[in-house]
Structure 1
């Protein structure tokens, strides 16, 4: 079974059923299948072969979903990059992935890469005959998701067809998805949450409704979208739900057609979670956990019993056929949903060590206790502060920089501590704009602290603990 098979199968069963809808138009399963075949012929005409990477740098549209399907049918590897990423970061991703082709739906181009607009690609093979999908094996790579890297460079998490489908099949069963469901896709295509939205819908023959990048941050219109689209299954980071509740009247308006609400990616603050549980007594609420490298590996369902809680909810029990254990307090995952490895690196062997700390509660369910290193979730996305520091140090007025995450959950913010070049005084607005030229919006700094030098440990390294204490106390100004 391949990751493109669900659309092929659904098109054969129910060709007229809605498959995907963006904010402008939609495609039935028959139309999506035919459009994917057209793009498949065009990709082959462009010389894309099995194992090649195709970087898709587009807005969230039904057309880009068809392109992704074509890439998979070609036996190539889909590399989704959200439109909001600046060209310089996309160029760094392209330098690592070495794509045979970059597909866009806008005017920007990636230096040194072969770029083609979706519209041109479609016209190139309007009558292309070569539309037989390439047979793939379960272990063949399907897509690469680029996350923030500890070396200061984005790193690509490579996932196989079988791994993705192991998660999707489990999720479809857990939520009892049917062809009548209408799933929202709030996450970007470059974020692992979107794997369920898209492929869960396709596996069930349901429809997926895409939330554009602008709408995804607009509370009241987002609540309107849930109601007007008749969404039955929602999946997002908790901060999106908190935003919708605080500023969009989510609880006052009621759940509409919603029957299941799933959240992942960061802790859900207890008070708004309880409000949601009270306000939606008939809607299933599920907390899913797992880094990009494992997709979802544990699950916990929030029930009325959790209204008596005074601490965070657990991340739950193993999911997706995985085995989840603790080794010296670290959460370790093995099983079918775990990645192949990082693109360009050695294939993964053995269990994946998440770098997350956990413990068991009295009922044997896992609780999340934080990170072993300083990686954190900011605005629902995984951020390596070293990548942000590297960008800041590229500015001509900055001699050195360290970035900290201050706060947790919805209050997590990126604080930059910089040592200026002699005679320079870089301002917050200036460095924030510099970050936006190289990084996606969620990795742009929220505060700036200027110091004459960093405290050091005995071996000459920056004393991050001491510097972090200065930032938290406000002493670093």
Structure 2
């Protein structure tokens, strides 16, 4: 077992695991599906894996991808890469080979840490990873030996990490060094790489620990994929607090009752998930059959939480604090709002004031500040801000506004209002507004209103191909309910302007989702716009 460092405050993300091990030498770090690991065990395993990366020729600042189902080994891979001084690139293990290939090529990935079966599906040796030189794999590594042979890629079996040496010395990592490169899901356009530093990642972890009051007794239910930016809470904030992570498998997240069973049995104290997943847990998670006396906080992010569904979940978990977390991947989580009561029908929930040193500026179309309470585009200045978009200096320049007295502004593209007390309200994205009959309509507002209808679980709205110049919507109804378009339109007339009432409504059993688990609104809106009335 490697020697433990002092339990002083970490100076980079590379020191998080070692500090947690020093703080909790007997404390559980990861509750896996088959066994648990203490923080010293995780520290030992990550150090050995970091040494393998360095010995395999990975240099400081080079990109190393993680491609495997989530579990203790994915967590260890992330921190080993950071300790080796490399840049961690998480890949979606469920993505098609073409999607993985695009990231491998764009990021110039040198090494890959993953699971043999998952790696085999991605076929990185078929020219999909042109810069790839090293694969460290668990699982049936013999299943990919013949594929790797002759490719110039070295394959190392890491099923028995304890057989490999501990490092004598690893590269010195500084706050200004890049730490991770995460690619967006493409829900707002073409996927792009977002490069963060050790400084921005650690600033986020410290902010999260402070604002959510994380401590060594917390047990987080791991609800987000490694390739989704919300996973930084699990990867960085929980280790900083020296808490515990309860791993969830894909089936646990796909079947809400399985999730709640494991979450309750493991006495989880915190959930942090996207709105859509939490709604699925409300609808099909058998919440009323579980003991939730340990659950102190539910954090939600990624999408607007319809008021009716949020109220129902809060009523199902009456002793739990609910917090709305906001922040593009470019700035991690910059705002948090703690609810004091369940929302009424049609009532919006603020995204809250800034977290830590985050400052908010709301500007008009000429980039001039607007008065309090006036809609405009949100700019964010925070130490949690990314360094740049990878290989996209044009996007970096377009999203950056210089600031002399603090971190540069990030131009979010989100439409908000900011009150004089600093409270910020989200109204949608500027690129999710449409003009119908000369009137600007915010699609998220229409969807949130429809989702408050007692018969509707989920709704997506967009310009209609059925009847140009109007809106259409696709909805998921509650079980046993039949669509009554006129009744929904009549109900909506008391809540929406006439131009925003959908003229056509489709019913779907389920809605497609993005790799990060959000509703794939872009895909649904394209289908609505392309649709035609049938005879």
In the superposition, the TM-score normalised over structure 1's length comes to: 0.78
User: Is the CA contact (8 Å cut-off) linking 1:10 and 1:205 kept in structure 2?
Assistant: yes
Among 320, 335, 342, which residue is 1:298 paired with?
A: 335
Among 443, 450, 459, which residue is 1:411 paired with?
A: 459
- C-alpha distance 254-47 of structure 1, shift in aligned 2 (>3 A): same
* Displacement after TM superposition at 1:441 (Å): 8.7
SS for the counterpart of 1:79 is: strand
1:178-203 C-alpha deviation (Å, 9 max, x unpaired) = 11111111000111111112222111
Q: Which residue of 2 aligns with 1:324?
A: 360
1:105 aligns with 2:115: yes
1:26 aligns with 2:45: no
- C-alpha distance 46-129 of structure 1, shift in aligned 2 (>3 A): same
User: Is the CA contact (8 Å cut-off) linking 1:167 and 1:296 kept in structure 2?
Assistant: yes
1:230 aligns with 2:267: yes
User: Is the CA contact (8 Å cut-off) linking 2:414 and 2:427 kept in structure 1?
Assistant: yes
Q: Which residue of 2 aligns with 1:427?
A: none
SS for the counterpart of 1:320 is: coil
1:336 aligns with 2:383: yes
The answer for unaligned runs of 5 or more in structure 2 is: 1-10, 139-155, 365-375, 403-407, 435-442, 449-457, 466-511
1:118 aligns with 2:166: no
Aligned-residue Cα RMSD (Å) equals 3.3
User: Is the CA contact (8 Å cut-off) linking 1:415 and 1:448 kept in structure 2?
Assistant: no
Q: Which residue of 2 aligns with 1:389?
A: none
Alignment of 1:384-463 (within 5 A): 408=447, 410-412=458-460, 440=515
Point out 4+ residue stretches in structure 1 off by more than 6 angstroms. 404-407, 413-417, 443-449
> Is 221-230 or 440-449 further displaced after alignment?
440-449
1:199-229 C-alpha deviation (Å, 9 max, x unpaired) = 2211111111122223212111111111011
SS for the counterpart of 1:118 is: strand
Q: Which residue of 2 aligns with 1:154?
A: 191
* Displacement after TM superposition at 1:365 (Å): 1.7
- C-alpha distance 171-251 of structure 1, shift in aligned 2 (>3 A): farther
User: Is the CA contact (8 Å cut-off) linking 2:87 and 2:179 kept in structure 1?
Assistant: yes
Q: For residues 87 and 415 of structure 1, what CA distance do their matches in structure 2 show?
A: 33
- C-alpha distance 407-53 of structure 1, shift in aligned 2 (>3 A): farther
The answer for unaligned runs of 5 or more in structure 1 is: 377-403, 418-435, 450-463
Among 246, 249, 257, which residue is 2:286 paired with?
A: 249
User: Is the CA contact (8 Å cut-off) linking 1:138 and 1:162 kept in structure 2?
Assistant: yes
SS for the counterpart of 1:266 is: coil
Q: For residues 151 and 204 of structure 1, what CA distance do their matches in structure 2 show?
A: 33
SS for the counterpart of 1:7 is: helix
User: Is the CA contact (8 Å cut-off) linking 1:166 and 1:337 kept in structure 2?
Assistant: yes
Among 278, 283, 287, which residue is 2:315 paired with?
A: 278
Q: For residues 110 and 325 of structure 2, what CA distance do their matches in structure 1 show?
A: 35
1:365 aligns with 2:423: yes
Higher RCO (C-alpha under 8 Å, 6+ residues apart) = 1
Q: For residues 476 and 45 of structure 1, what CA distance do their matches in structure 2 show?
A: 64
Q: Which residue of 1 aligns with 2:410?
A: 352
Q: For residues 166 and 423 of structure 2, what CA distance do their matches in structure 1 show?
A: 53
Q: Which residue of 2 aligns with 1:424?
A: none
* Displacement after TM superposition at 1:151 (Å): 10
- C-alpha distance 344-171 of structure 1, shift in aligned 2 (>3 A): same
User: Is the CA contact (8 Å cut-off) linking 2:274 and 2:517 kept in structure 1?
Assistant: no
Q: Which residue of 2 aligns with 1:14?
A: 24
Among 33, 51, 55, which residue is 1:45 paired with?
A: 55
Among 276, 288, 309, which residue is 1:239 paired with?
A: 276
User: Is the CA contact (8 Å cut-off) linking 1:80 and 1:190 kept in structure 2?
Assistant: yes
> Is 114-123 or 256-265 further displaced after alignment?
114-123
SS for the counterpart of 1:276 is: helix
* Displacement after TM superposition at 1:129 (Å): 4.6
Aligned residues between the structures: 412
1:395-440 C-alpha deviation (Å, 9 max, x unpaired) = xxxxxxxxx99974643489999xxxxxxxxxxxxxxxxxx9xx84
- C-alpha distance 445-47 of structure 1, shift in aligned 2 (>3 A): same
Q: Which residue of 2 aligns with 1:3?
A: 13
